[in-house]
Structure 1
Amino acid sequence: EFPQAEELIYLNHAAVAPWPARSRDALTAFAQQNVDRGATDYPGWVAVESRLRKRLAELIGAASAEDIALQKSTSEALSVVAWGLEWNAGDNIILCRQEFPSNRIPWESLQSQGVEIRYLDLASAADPEQAYIDLMDRNTRLVSVSSVQYAGGLRTDLVRLGEACKARDVLFCVDAIQSLGALPFDLNECHADFVMADGHKWMLGAEGLALFWVNPEIRERLKLYQYGWHMTREASDFDAPSWHPADNAKRFECGSPNMLGAHVLDASLSLLQEIGMETVSAAVLERSEFLIERIQGSPTLELLSDPTPQRRSGIVTFSHRQIEPTQLHQQLMQQRVICACRGGGVRFSAHFYNDLDHIEQAVLRAEQLK
């Protein structure tokens, strides 16, 4: 399923993942249909999109595929929430300083409305969930977190934090891009009100298509600011004299769907579902454990990620005791170890299919650099 170039060791799934062969085949077949017959097969494309919504609903434990909206990106979905809610001057939102800009900028844009942003510094928080809880007060409207932090891979206890938010009537928003496709996720356990994730990382899809889930009980609290033919109840009646927003999550999809991206992501998720997320997750964590133990035992490398078992994810970040992180990253890339420079070090992010021997080779190459 992953016929990558032999000289390549790809450890960058936390950035942009390579597609499985079946996703390439799905894209090729879709393109050939379009070349040969245009949109003659459009009803079949819609069926693929519907199947994708069902797969995504199953991935997060949503009650219905109708609760899944397809967005262009995590950033777009976060912006739908940030600018869809009604805010009052003095309301506050809690974030951590180490968030990726997608989960920071939409909230910070609300400061012009008098919304206060409260920041948690993960670097100094021995108990991150308690630190979030301690920042809450009667003016806290929302807490937004990443299920897994992008730089160091710290895994958030979503159940504990979600329960605390629910008890305080605080909205809970989860950017799940660094966990969906790699780790189990269950809406019924974490009490999230909003969940979003691009498909191009651990879900092995293409850029430009993201999952967006809103708790159906509060869906209509989000005012709409994008409008078009696709987000109405009357979407199939182009001559309808009046219109109403769809009663399901499609109300957040203003225009034509990304059919190309849907075919790719549907094929990629079919692979993950065939293997089973428990098996995928066990394999991802096995590779992280291997990396953590290997780096901890290295005389030249220093582990930066939290090694605590319950905090582990698919991301392992480390530094070299003698080489500056940017230079280390550049040298590894030159040796065809595909990784990222993040969190003051180099980030490896192995998926379930990465061979342990190849991961060992990547660590050896890092150790041997000067």
Structure 2
Amino acid sequence: MTADDAGAAALAAGLRTAVNRLAFYLRADAGERGLTPSRLAALAALDRCGPQRPADLAANLGITAPSMSRLTEVLEAGGWVRRRAHDGDRRAVVLDLTEEGRATLNDVRREGTSRLAADIGGLSGADRAALEAALPVLAGLADRNLSPRGHRSSRLRSTMKPIAEKTFFSYATVAPMSRTAYEAARDFMADFYQYGPPEVLYRYDRLADEMAEEAARLLHCAPEEITYLKNTTEGIIIASEVLPLDPGDEVLVLGNEYPANLLPWLRKRHDGVTVRVITGRDNEAAFHRLLEAVSPRTRAISMSSAQRYDGFMPDLALLSRVCRERGIFLVIDAVQHIGARCFDLAETPVDILVCGGQKYLRAGMGIGFMYVRRGLMPSLRHSRVGIRSMERFDEESYVLKDTAARFQDGTQNVAGLAALHASLRELNVLGMDAVQEKNLALLQGIKGILREHGIDFIDHGTRQSNIVSMRTEDPEALSAFLMERNVYIKVVEDVARMSFIHESTLEEAEVLARHTRDFLDRARN
């Protein structure tokens, strides 16, 4: 056994003893109520996971079928649990908490928390700080090992590496959720599970408006110009449907875009709209060719404000000015931009801007937002019409809202909205200027580290987002090599793309560079 192994074993033994003693202390009230540890664990599992078949609950608790049978009899006799028919299979029986069982469990938890809070209140400031610092580590250990047995999450977790153990440089793909976003979504889910409608729906009813207020503050526009989306693709589809484009009109797009930015426009060819896909030797050259391609027939330009391939950021101020002078609609996909760089719509007007929440906003998947310029609303065509898009309607006609809310449809993704709202608010509290300054400093530092290690990459100077794409003969092999060493990047076409956030560190970049240099040296030899 190495010294590190011996130290870990000693720490584990001490932690195990302390946790067991503390658990015994916290369960004192449960014992007085006739709840042994196994009975309390069963009630907690039913509260956490909902009604379960006896076999599933046994697997969850890690006990045998006979033990589960005896435990069920005791829980029923105590009035804590009842048997009932399964909602989806009347032949099956599930165990469910009674009101008394839930109340008892909540009382035990509340009393234990109260006792522990009093003890913590008597600690010194240094001891409380040490306890607070250790809490995320202890929570991580619990999350990794105490998910319900037999459930998909526990099987997955046995094969997955926690994000805290990864050197993660793939935020431009799908970013891990921020703690702020996770806690906001978790709180809604907990409220909805425990209390349900209608009270919870009333409580969260203004969430879409509050999200719009935070997004508007971030982008320097009006809240009425913001609405929510499922993803960036949905926003581009909406833009292609509502802009007043007629046969013979021309739309310009860049060729090296993500398919979501290209496919909705290609469909417009069926309506007689000319769609020109502009390419060049690289993204920067393609952008300049696009400017040169503008003609009297050009009615719309759609592009990303930060390119997913190499992070190139075109001159949006110039593009915006060209579009305004020539009466061209400008549609911007800002998913690789928002959360990494400032975007001021007051200084750089666009007509429609879309942004998913899964990248630098770190709000999770299936939620995003869209900006639609208020002055554009009257000229837009009708697209999706739903109950939330209506100002008023009857059996003969309807009137759409004159705000971006006209693109809302039916039931909202409230958990997603909670996460997105929290993410946007966090950026506003931090200050986007400060976040951008940190990102630019990291960008220059990362480039310097890569140069020191002799690693070739695409450099666009300051016109570059939080993406640095490394050139190598075999990016797939490099990605696999790095993943084996807990370093995560993304292969995009012929480059190995690394992407970061303001919380990334140059120490992490140094780890990536050392392993990349090692890979290149091995490949050469």
Aligned counterpart in structure 1 of residue 445 of structure 2, from 281, 290, 294: 290
Aligned counterpart in structure 2 of residue 182 of structure 1, from 340, 360, 371: 340
Shift of 1:120: 2.1
**Per-residue CA shift, 1:70-106, capped at 9, x if unaligned?**
1111111111111122333222111111111111111
Q: In 2, are the aligned partners of 1:230 and 1:254 still within 8 Å (CA)?
A: yes
**Per-residue CA shift, 1:13-63, capped at 9, x if unaligned?**
11111122222222221111111111222122123322111011111111x
- Supply the distance in 2 between the matched residues of 1:240 and 1:67 (Cα, whole angstroms): 28
2:453 counterpart of 1:259: no
Provide the residue aligned with 2:208 in structure 1. 49
- Supply the distance in 1 between the matched residues of 2:419 and 2:166 (Cα, whole angstroms): 23
Q: Are residues 286 and 50 of structure 1, via their aligned partners in 2, closer, same or farther at CA, if it must alter by over 3 Å?
A: same
Provide the residue aligned with 1:104 in structure 2. 262
The 4+ residue runs of structure 1 with deviation greater than 3 A are 1-6, 124-130, 239-243
Shift of 1:296: 2.7
**Which structure carries more helix by proportion?**
2
User: Which residues of 2 match residues 157-176 of structure 1 at below 5 A?
Assistant: 157-176=315-334
User: Which residues of 2 match residues 312-323 of structure 1 at below 5 A?
Assistant: 312-320=464-472, 323=473
- Supply the distance in 1 between the matched residues of 2:286 and 2:218 (Cα, whole angstroms): 26
2:492 counterpart of 1:342: yes
> What SS is found at the alignment partner of 1:43?
helix
Q: What letter is aligned with 2:478?
A: L
- What are structure 2's unaligned runs of at least 5 residues? 1-135, 141-161
Aligned counterpart in structure 2 of residue 120 of structure 1, from 278, 284, 304: 278
**Per-residue CA shift, 1:334-361, capped at 9, x if unaligned?**
2221211014111111100012111111
Shift of 1:281: 0.8
Aligned counterpart in structure 1 of residue 428 of structure 2, from 265, 270, 273: 273
> What SS is found at the alignment partner of 1:24?
helix
> What SS is found at the alignment partner of 1:98?
coil
> What SS is found at the alignment partner of 2:470?
strand
- Supply the distance in 1 between the matched residues of 2:284 and 2:488 (Cα, whole angstroms): 32
> What SS is found at the alignment partner of 1:107?
helix
Q: What letter is aligned with 1:307?
A: H
Provide the residue aligned with 2:16 in structure 1. none
Q: In 2, are the aligned partners of 1:205 and 1:261 still within 8 Å (CA)?
A: yes
> What SS is found at the alignment partner of 1:302?
coil
Provide the residue aligned with 2:309 in structure 1. 151
- Supply the distance in 1 between the matched residues of 2:273 and 2:237 (Cα, whole angstroms): 15
TM-score, normalised on structure 2? 0.65
- Supply the distance in 1 between the matched residues of 2:178 and 2:439 (Cα, whole angstroms): 16
- Supply the distance in 2 between the matched residues of 1:71 and 1:28 (Cα, whole angstroms): 20
Q: In 2, are the aligned partners of 1:68 and 1:249 still within 8 Å (CA)?
A: yes
Provide the residue aligned with 1:302 in structure 2. 456
Higher relative contact order (CA 8 A, sep 6+): 1
**Per-residue CA shift, 1:308-350, capped at 9, x if unaligned?**
22x1210100023xx5011111221222212110141111111
**Percent identity (aligned):** 24
- Supply the distance in 1 between the matched residues of 2:164 and 2:414 (Cα, whole angstroms): 32
- Supply the distance in 2 between the matched residues of 1:5 and 1:87 (Cα, whole angstroms): 45
TM-score, normalised on structure 1? 0.92
User: Which residues of 2 match residues 131-150 of structure 1 at below 5 A?
Assistant: 131-150=289-308
> What SS is found at the alignment partner of 1:244?
strand
Aligned counterpart in structure 2 of residue 208 of structure 1, from 358, 366, 375: 366
Shift of 1:171: 1.0
Q: Are residues 368 and 74 of structure 1, via their aligned partners in 2, closer, same or farther at CA, if it must alter by over 3 Å?
A: same
Provide the residue aligned with 1:194 in structure 2. 352
Q: How many residues align structurally?
A: 361
> What SS is found at the alignment partner of 2:330?
strand
Shift of 1:243: 3.6
Q: In 2, are the aligned partners of 1:234 and 1:240 still within 8 Å (CA)?
A: no
> What SS is found at the alignment partner of 2:358?
coil
Q: Are residues 120 and 241 of structure 1, via their aligned partners in 2, closer, same or farther at CA, if it must alter by over 3 Å?
A: closer
Aligned counterpart in structure 2 of residue 357 of structure 1, from 507, 515, 519: 507
Shift of 1:125: 6.7
**Per-residue CA shift, 1:246-270, capped at 9, x if unaligned?**
1211111111221010111112222
Q: What letter is aligned with 2:484?
A: Q
Point out the more displaced range, 100-109 or 6-15.
6-15
**Per-residue CA shift, 1:284-325, capped at 9, x if unaligned?**
1222212222223333x211x23322x1210100023xx501
- Supply the distance in 2 between the matched residues of 1:242 and 1:139 (Cα, whole angstroms): 34
2:217 counterpart of 1:58: yes
User: Which residues of 2 match residues 209-248 of structure 1 at below 5 A?
Assistant: 209-234=367-392, 243-248=398-403
- Supply the distance in 1 between the matched residues of 2:444 and 2:212 (Cα, whole angstroms): 33
Q: Are residues 251 and 125 of structure 1, via their aligned partners in 2, closer, same or farther at CA, if it must alter by over 3 Å?
A: closer
Q: What letter is aligned with 2:292?
A: D
**What do you get for the CA RMSD once the two structures are aligned?**
2.1
